[in-house]
Chain A
Amino acid sequence: MSPDNYLYLAALLFTLGACGVLLRRNAIVVFMCIELMLNAANLALVAFSRMHGNLDGQILAFFVMVVAAAEVVVGLAIIVMLYRSRHSASVDDASLMKL
Chain B
Amino acid sequence: MNALTTLGTLAAETSTSTGESVQFWILAPIAVAGGLGTVLMRRAVYSALCLAGTMIILALFYLANGAYFLGVVQIVVYTGAVMMLFLFVLMLVGVSAADSLKETLKGQRWLAALLGLGLGTLLIAGIGQAAGGSFTGLGQANAGGNVQGLASLLFTRYVVAFEVTGILLTIAAVGATMLTHRERIERIKSQREQSVDRIKNATHIPPLPAPGVYARHNGVDIPGLLPDGTPSELSVNATLRGRGQIREVHREALRDLTALEQRTATYHGQRRQQGIDGGTDGASVGAGNGTEDERGDAGEESR
Contact = CB atoms under 8 A, between A and B. Distances in A.
B61 A43 contact: yes
Interface string B109-135: 101110110011001100110010101
A97 to B, nearest CB: 14
B86 interface: yes
B302 interface: no
A6 B77 CA distance: 22
B242 interface: yes
B54 A28 contact: no
Interface string A70-96: 111110111111010001010010000
B73 A5 contact: no
Interface in B151-169: 153-154, 158, 161, 165, 168-169
Contacts of B119: 14-15, 18
B172 A54 contact: no
Interface in A49-85: 49-56, 58-59, 61-63, 65-74, 76-81, 83
Contact of B150 (A17, A19, A62): A62
Contacts of B146: 55, 58
A55 B99 contact: no
Contact of A22 (B51, B112, B135, B149): B112
Most chain B beta-carbon contacts within 10 A, residue among A50, A56, A59, A74: A50
A56 to B, nearest CB: 7
B89 interface: yes
B137 A53 contact: yes
A74 B175 contact: yes
Contacts of B136: 50-53
Interface residues on B, range: 35 or more
Interface residues on A, range: 35 or more
Given A19-B115, A59-B150, A69-B81, 7 more contacts: A8-B124, A26-B44, A53-B136, A66-B168, A74-B175, A83-B93, A89-B94
B55 interface: yes
Interface of A: 1-9, 11-20, 22-26, 28-29, 31-33, 35-36, 39, 42-43, 46-47, 49-56, 58-59, 61-63, 65-74, 76-81, 83, 87, 89, 92
Determine chain A's interface SS by DSSP, over half rule: helix
A16 B11 contact: no
A75 to B, nearest CB: 9
Contact of B104 (A9, A58, A92): A92
B112 A23 contact: yes
Contact of B47 (A32, A78, A89): A32
Contacts of B199: none
Contact of A62 (B51, B70, B142, B177): B70
A67 B165 contact: yes
A29 to B, nearest CB: 5
Closest 4 CB pairs of A and B: A53-B136, A1-B21, A70-B172, A22-B112
